Structure 1
Amino acid sequence: MRNARHLLLAAAVSLLAACSTIGALSAWLNDQVAFTPTQLQHSLDKRFPRTFDKLGGLVEVTLANPRLSIPPGDTRLRLEFDVGMGALGGEGAPTGHLALASSLRYDPSTQGLHLVDPDLQQFDLPGSGTLLKGGARGVVNSLLAEYARSEPVYRLDPDLLAKLPAGKRIGNVGIERGGVVVHLDR
Structure 2
Amino acid sequence: MKLRPVFTRIAACAVLIAAAVGAQAAPSVSGRSLSVGASDVQHYLDGSFPRTQDALGGLIAMTMSHPRLTLPQGNRLDMDLDVALATAGSPPSPLGKVRLSSGLRYDAQTQGFHLDQPTVDDFTPANNGGRLDSRTRELLNAFLVDYARREPIYRIDPTIAALLGNLQVQSAQVQNGKLVVTFNQDLGAMMPSGVLGR
Describe how 1:82-93 pairs up with structure 2 within 5 A. 82-93=82-93
The structural deviation recorded for 1:67 is: 0.3
Asked if 1:175 corresponds to 2:171, the answer is: no
Match of 1:59 in 2: 60
More helix by share: 1
Compute the RMSD of aligned alpha carbons: 2.2
Measured after TM superposition, the shift of residue 115 of structure 1 is 0.5
SS at match of 1:147: helix
Asked if 2 retains the 8 angstrom alpha-carbon contact of 1:60 and 1:91, the reply is no
**1:155 counterpart residue number:** 155
The one of the two structures with greater contact order (alpha-carbon pairs below 8 A, sep at least 6) is 2
| Structure-1 residue corresponding to 2:77 | 77
The Cα offsets for residues 73-94 of structure 1, whole Å up to 9 and x where unpaired, read as 2211101111111222222243
Check the 8 A contact 2:35/2:181 in 1, yes or no.
Answer: yes
Q: Secondary structure at the match of 2:31?
A: helix
| SS of alignment partner, residue 86 of structure 2 | strand
CA shift for structure 1 position 27: 5.6
Note the residue ranges of structure 2 that are not aligned, 5 or more in a row. 1-26, 186-198
Counterparts of 1:172 and 1:112 in 2: how far apart (Å)? 13
Cross-structure match for 1:111:
111
Give yes or no for contact 1:83–1:94 (8 Å, CA) kept in 2: yes
- Amino acid paired to 2:70: S
Mapped partners of 1:31, 1:126: distance in 2: 45
1:45-93 C-alpha deviation (Å, 9 max, x unpaired): 001122221222111111111100112x221110111111122222224
| Cα distance in structure 1, aligned partners of 2:68 and 2:108 | 25
Q: How many residues align?
A: 158
Match of 2:135 in 1: 135
Query: Could you tell me how far 1:175 is from its partner in structure 2?
Result: 0.7
Moved more, 109-118 or 119-128: 119-128
**One-letter code aligned to 1:66:** P
Q: Which string of whole-angstrom CA distances, capped at 9 and with x for unpartnered residues, describes residues 98-146 of structure 1?
A: 110011111122111111000111123445766x722111110111111
**Structure 1 vs Structure 2: percent identity of aligned residues?**
36
Cα distance in 1 between the residues matched to 2:130 and 2:96 = 13
Alpha-carbon distance between aligned partners in 1 of 2:40 and 2:69, rounded to the nearest angstrom: 10
User: What is the match of residue 50 of structure 1?
Assistant: 51
Distance 1:29 1:42 in 2: 23
CA distance in 2 between partners of 1:54 and 1:118 (Å): 20
- TM-score between the two structures when normalised by the length of structure 2: 0.72
CA distance in 2, matches of 1:45, 1:82: 13
